[in-house]
Structure 1
Amino acid sequence: MEQPYTIYEQQMKAKLKRWEIRLQKQPNLIERASKSVQNRINQVIPEKIHNTITATVKGIVQTTLFGIHYMPATEPLKGVSMADRDAKAEELLSLYKKIAAAEGAGAGAGGILLGLADFPILIGIKLKFLFELAHIYGYSTKDYRERLFILYVFQLAFSSSKKKPALLHTIKNWPAISQNFPPAADYANQVNWLQLQQEYRDTIDFRKMLQLIPGIGAVVGAWANFGLLEELGVAGMNCYRLRNLQDKAAKGDSPAPVSPKSQN
């Protein structure tokens, strides 16, 4: 017997549609101008520095995604309504925003050296949040494909408008796409780590650079990190809501969702 979507799930479907439309909008004039400036800055930065930052990001992300350090101790939640999952996710996000804000304030107050050290620490905080979020929505991070999904969510939250539609396409087609992934070690070699770190850095650059200014660093550091966790929380919760609804449809509980847009 078919079990239709609950009223709450129907509300979330409508909310997700609006979110998808916003993600797939073409970048506005200000965003295009900002990206153009960032691209010119990237061109004048010595390749050695790019390589160092890329290696740092790659090392942090690979250690997180292909190790066991960040795996939650608790098992993924099963048999829980989406409303209850969302409530737990909001509590988790509130906690991690406070953690990130406190870390950002401390780094901002410490000047340039601590401000630079904040870069890898913040990535770790974000990835830890996503690992715990996956378990709230019922997905086990023991499966390396779920850890790769986390990487796509991370990129969706911190990539340019131009890259978001293709990332959203992958996320919406995850069950089919993930079945074709090579072993974890092989997949790690296929990630464009330079592009990932540049997109991430460009997204947070302005806020994080202000953090290095003496006198206002602590306030800006807290504000920047709080806002970045909020953006990640929205992206993460919506991605897992999409998957929960798709999983329900795949079980025959309701009509299958509309096919996602093709990649650009």
Structure 2
Amino acid sequence: MESKDYLLMELKEIEDWEKDQKGLFIWEKIGRIPFKVLDKITPSFIQKKIGLLLDEIGSYIQNGGKYLTNEKTVLDIVQKLNPQLEIRTIEDLACIPIETMKLAGEDLKKNRSKLATLQGASTGFGGIFTLAVDIPVLLGLSLKTLQEIAMIHGYNPNETNERIFIVKCLQFASADIVGKEAILNELSSTYNQRESKEMVSQLQGWREVVYTYRDQFGWKKLLQMVPIAGMIFGAFTNRSMIQDIADTGMMLYRKRRILERLTVDCR
């Protein structure tokens, strides 16, 4: 297992990343304006479909629903990276080297980014109408990507508390400077292993996750509203968004695992 100095070095890298995430760009505020306009010109039947995301997130938190990912896929990815280890369950993944977790996470991010690129290009073809379809599809890919990252670090998304943490990761990736700082403070309860009920109460504004997630498309998705040309912008923006979400998941989950290893060794 890793030395204490190595774990502290990795922790320092994650904390530096957290500080960088607190930088606020004017585009984050301006980016919400196009979607306010989009709300007014989008047909009601598409608006209703987007509104279903609220129920989707609620269902995901409660039981995982259709978003639960395949455990075997993740186990196979890690096993190929570390063939000398015997990995059969998510619990086994909790004790693999941090470096293996990083490599597996990067491999996963690469694969999911390619998928997001193809999806963004296909939904960008039809402009504003297929853009509305792109939102729930990208949400599903984001949740599954974060679940797989959770498993790579030895955490089971079948547990309700883990699904709450995953939604928090999604919220963090979409938040502005104030939101990011607040979420990091909230997640400290998880790092400190306090009662899980705290995480539930902290998610009282979970509906805002969807609104923020949708609004932050803003300027990133503005040019995707143009039919045909939207293919290029859709491919680029979806790729960058999944990469951001994957980076967030890897950093926050790695931090949890490192802090646990600094206090309790795997036996």
What TM-score comes out, normalization by structure 1 length?
0.79
- 1:65 equivalent in alignment to 2:61: yes
Alpha-carbon shift at residue 96 of structure 1 (Å): 0.6
User: Unaligned 5+ residue runs, structure 1?
Assistant: 254-264
Q: Aligned pair in 2 of structure 1 residues 60, 81: CA closer, same or farther (>3 Å)?
A: same
Alpha-carbon shift at residue 33 of structure 1 (Å): 5.3
Number of aligned residues: 243
Map 1:119-198 onto structure 2 (within 5 A). 119-176=135-192, 179-181=195-197, 187=200, 191-198=204-211
Partner residue in 2 for 1:87: 103
What TM-score comes out, normalization by structure 2 length?
0.78
CA–CA distance in 2 between the matches of 1:72 and 1:189? 28
Partner residue in 1 for 2:20: 22
Q: Aligned pair in 2 of structure 1 residues 143, 204: CA closer, same or farther (>3 Å)?
A: same
Q: Percent identity at matched positions? A: 22
Aligned partner of residue 162 in structure 1, secondary structure = helix
Q: Aligned pair in 2 of structure 1 residues 126, 173: CA closer, same or farther (>3 Å)?
A: same
Q: Aligned pair in 2 of structure 1 residues 117, 32: CA closer, same or farther (>3 Å)?
A: closer
User: Unaligned 5+ residue runs, structure 2?
Assistant: 73-88
CA–CA distance in 2 between the matches of 1:148 and 1:157? 14
In the TM superposition, what whole-angstrom CA distance separates every residue of 1:81-109 from its partner, at most 9, and x where no partner exists?
Answer: 01001101111111111111101100011
Q: Aligned pair in 2 of structure 1 residues 169, 22: CA closer, same or farther (>3 Å)?
A: same
Q: Aligned pair in 2 of structure 1 residues 125, 169: CA closer, same or farther (>3 Å)?
A: same
Alpha-carbon shift at residue 22 of structure 1 (Å): 1.6
Aligned partner of residue 163 in structure 1, secondary structure = helix
Partner residue in 2 for 1:261: none
Q: Aligned pair in 2 of structure 1 residues 3, 215: CA closer, same or farther (>3 Å)?
A: closer
Partner residue in 1 for 2:3: 4
Q: Which residue of the other structure, out of 113, 134, 146, is the alignment partner of 1:97?
A: 113
